[in-house]
Structure 1
Amino acid sequence: MSKNNMPNSATPERVALDLRPLLDREPGGVGAYTRSLFAALEELPEIECYPVITGSSLGSIEPGEFPNLRRLPLPNPLLNVLIKFSGLPRLDRLARVRHYLLPNWNFLGLARQSKLTLVVHDLSFERNIKWFSQRQRLWHRAVNPRRLVERADRVIAVSEWTKRDLLELYGTPAEKISVIYPVPDRPPVDLPFPVVLPERFILFLGAVEERKNPLSLLRAFEQIAARHPETHLIIAGRFGYGGERVAAAAAASPYVSRIRLTGYVPLSVRHALYRQAAVFVYPSFYEGFGIPLVEAMHAGAPVVTGNRSAMPEVVGDAGILADPLDINQIALALDEVLSNSSFAAALAAKGKERAALFPASMAPALGKLFVGES
């Protein structure tokens, strides 16, 4: 049944979805997650979604991409100051809704009677501030994530790990938290990678930043490079805090000719990298979920990842879990996969089975969350 043809007794619930994660022209994981949220809400006949965007530009949003789009063309620096010190403007009134869905931390003004559903990806900034720049630390302090969680009527945690962090660090009531796993990014088109790739390569794909630890992967690659002279290292993703250290280490490496830093990789060609990788390595110090892990497993790449936070929850026994602080351990895992084709194939097969366990859509879980609340 379409939303427009529903009986009066089942009028769709109006829900606003904040699109500010898409203001970046090269959106990261939260931007892709926001698009997945919209797609899930559009599947639900009981919900009428009203996307909300602020700022002087539309960022990565394409014309006509979001029906019912509500726009406040106020520069975001000014908007943030106004909300911080006055609580205005109230973005729920822009969309004329009583439910507001915020897919990540941000400045937010809402009417007191409006309901807020907040998505929490992780509390990494509470665990280790050294993973963040001074500017990022100041931004978190100004946004005040703890207060947002307290204001929220419901909190969506992207993993059981994130739920445990909310319970432990913020004392959030358990009944307020729903764990809803994110879904792999869906490219509108699946294109080949635009340049010729090495015949055999190790792949890292994610933000090139301190927390995701690509520098340790580079050092581990240097340990095994002589034993695997045909293998290259591709570090794919835009630079974040600490990315310049990775670039400097790559430039100074004795194996610089076999190390490639691609920068930002569009979603349309990302899956070509996964499919062709000999092994996908994600040695992060901390993840709230780690969607590249599911994408890599789904594509059939053997996976090596960190043994902490949500990564064991996502990978289970379908990948090699290594201590991200131990470069030798990462190197041994790489050597094991690269040296044993049968083992690599078995790991890839287990990964595909594991990836199939995760939902293809968030719509059923979101429907349970919103249905009956008016």
Structure 2
Amino acid sequence: MIIGIDSSRANKAQKTGTEWYSFFIIQELKKIGVKHQFRLYTNTLLEPALAACPENFEQRVLHWPLKYLWTQKRLSWEMLLHPPDVLFVPAHTIPIFCRAKTVVTIHDVGFAAQPQLYPFHEKLYHRASAWFAVHFADRIICPTEFTKRELIKFYHADPAKIAVIPHGVEVPKNIESTKWNRPYLLYMGRVEQKKNIMNLLEAYALVHMKHQDLRLILAGRLGFGGKECVAWVNSQGLGQSVEFTGSIIEDRKWSLYRGALALVFATLYEGFGLPLLEAQAVGCPVVTSDLPAHREVAQEAAVYVDPASPQSIAQGIERASDPGVAQNLGKLGRLNAANFTWSKTAASTLGVLESLGR
């Protein structure tokens, strides 16, 4: 069977959750997909790690002069002229025209459930892409039972088409040990409105009144509403205690997790929440929103808070900072994260792809 994969997300230099998902799925399929031929479709040459492929993998660079619409237009043209047996799209948007069976991963539908958190043009794009994918893909993968329910609720998706396959986590063998002068809380992800950063900052301000030496590090590039968050920090005189790192490399990401007093991930809506697993995998205590997807992922190894209440988030931080609680969270977190591996994710995904080739 010939399996095509949209590898454009995995090939991005700056990766967040969706891009890492795409990357690790491809890397694991290289190990287990020996019975099939794979085509990796990209708009630029593959980065070195992705380009290192076994003989049954080939790269196809589909050049496109525009910044947008590569999937809808250029990949569509390839699917009409040279279709594989099955096309796997790891992130929401499928080609408009496709002669291959199609499998798509829809990670969340926050743009439908919480539309006020998205810029207008982004909201319209995601809504249209999700609707098209739900109705025209042959199979849909989503990472949690919660996201499956949301797809049925907002898009009337056929439950029989949906496979729930959780994401995984992979910890580097060697994580740089860094000595920090001051203890710090960590947020990992884009700094944007839909991640509830303002309430996190207000919660930190409450905690900082009691613990003047405690810092907050927000590790991720600025997104929609990010500049307003920076301005608020400066207006409150917290500029010396709150750090906006911008995009970070992988080595620093894992070093930050390992050194943090706690990961604070009090977002308003998630389909999964990969930072929860990443933190747990290295024993970092987790404070997170009491959301259905977070409960599925973090299980009992987290302190759950009301994301709408800075006071609740602050209380969660105080609880996770207790040495006894932190130690227990670290232990439970490692045990929980061990259940989520990219090898399991890839094996289940391959099973879905193979089901369409029979």
Pairwise same-fold verdict (TM > 0.5): yes
Alignment identity in percent? 26
3-state secondary structure, aligned to 1:89: helix
Match of 1:27 in 2: 15
Give 5+ residue unaligned stretches, structure 1: 1-12
Structure 1 distance, partners of 2:117, 2:279, is 24
Match of 2:40 in 1: 51
Match of 1:285 in 2: 268
- When the two chains are superposed, the root-mean-square deviation of aligned CA atoms in Å is 2.4
Instruction: Work out whether residues 220 and 245 of structure 2, in 8 Å CA contact, stay in contact via their aligned partners in 1.
Output: yes
Instruction: Work out whether residues 89 and 109 of structure 1, in 8 Å CA contact, stay in contact via their aligned partners in 2.
Output: no
Match of 2:259 in 1: 276
3-state secondary structure, aligned to 1:257: coil
Instruction: Work out whether residues 41 and 366 of structure 1, in 8 Å CA contact, stay in contact via their aligned partners in 2.
Output: no
1:192-231 equivalences under 5 Å are 197-231=180-214
Structure 2 distance, partners of 1:232, 1:272, is 16
Structure 2 distance, partners of 1:242, 1:60, is 31
Higher relative contact order, chain-length normalized (CA < 8 Å, sep 6+): 2
Q: Call closer, same or farther: CA 1:354–1:186 in 2, change over 3 Å.
A: closer
Instruction: Work out whether residues 14 and 97 of structure 1, in 8 Å CA contact, stay in contact via their aligned partners in 2.
Output: yes
Measure how far apart 1:145 and its partner are.
1.5
Structure 2 distance, partners of 1:108, 1:174, is 22
Instruction: Work out whether residues 262 and 284 of structure 2, in 8 Å CA contact, stay in contact via their aligned partners in 1.
Output: yes
Instruction: Work out whether residues 287 and 304 of structure 2, in 8 Å CA contact, stay in contact via their aligned partners in 1.
Output: yes
Instruction: Work out whether residues 181 and 358 of structure 1, in 8 Å CA contact, stay in contact via their aligned partners in 2.
Output: yes
- Give TM-score scaled by structure 2 length: 0.90
Structure 1 distance, partners of 2:222, 2:104, is 27
Instruction: Work out whether residues 289 and 305 of structure 2, in 8 Å CA contact, stay in contact via their aligned partners in 1.
Output: yes
Match of 2:249 in 1: 266
Does residue 72 (structure 1) correspond to residue 54 (structure 2)? The answer is no
Structure 1 distance, partners of 2:70, 2:219, is 32
1:45-101 CA-to-partner distances (Å, cap 9, x unmatched) read 2332211012xx4486668345511111112447559739xx95143644x412000
Match of 1:17 in 2: 5
Structure 1 distance, partners of 2:33, 2:12, is 27
Structure 2 distance, partners of 1:110, 1:81, is 10
Give 5+ residue unaligned stretches, structure 2: none
Structure 1 range deviating more: 67-76 or 303-312? 67-76
3-state secondary structure, aligned to 2:204: helix
Residue-pair matches, total: 352
Does residue 353 (structure 1) correspond to residue 343 (structure 2)? The answer is no
Structure 1 range deviating more: 245-254 or 115-124? 245-254
1:302-329 CA-to-partner distances (Å, cap 9, x unmatched) read 1000011411111121111111001100
Q: Call closer, same or farther: CA 1:326–1:132 in 2, change over 3 Å.
A: same
Structure 1 range deviating more: 101-110 or 59-68? 59-68
Q: Call closer, same or farther: CA 1:109–1:315 in 2, change over 3 Å.
A: same
Structure 2 distance, partners of 1:33, 1:198, is 33
Letter in 1 for 2:161: K
Structure 2 distance, partners of 1:129, 1:78, is 22
Q: Call closer, same or farther: CA 1:154–1:235 in 2, change over 3 Å.
A: same
1:93-135 CA-to-partner distances (Å, cap 9, x unmatched) read 44x41200011123514434x1000101000000121111123
Does residue 128 (structure 1) correspond to residue 114 (structure 2)? The answer is yes
1:288-303 equivalences under 5 Å are 288-303=271-286
Match of 1:173 in 2: 158
Structure 1 distance, partners of 2:171, 2:86, is 26
Structure 2 distance, partners of 1:154, 1:366, is 11
Structure 2 distance, partners of 1:286, 1:104, is 18
1:128-167 equivalences under 5 Å are 128-141=114-127, 143-167=128-152
Measure how far apart 1:229 and its partner are.
2.2
- Match for 1:38 among 3, 20, 26? 26
Instruction: Work out whether residues 41 and 47 of structure 1, in 8 Å CA contact, stay in contact via their aligned partners in 2.
Output: no
Q: Call closer, same or farther: CA 1:93–1:331 in 2, change over 3 Å.
A: same
3-state secondary structure, aligned to 2:307: coil
Match of 1:8 in 2: none
Q: Call closer, same or farther: CA 1:284–1:224 in 2, change over 3 Å.
A: same
1:131-158 CA-to-partner distances (Å, cap 9, x unmatched) read 11123124325x5311211111110011
3-state secondary structure, aligned to 2:61: strand
3-state secondary structure, aligned to 1:250: helix
Q: Call closer, same or farther: CA 1:243–1:225 in 2, change over 3 Å.
A: same
Match of 2:98 in 1: 111
Instruction: Work out whether residues 76 and 98 of structure 2, in 8 Å CA contact, stay in contact via their aligned partners in 1.
Output: no
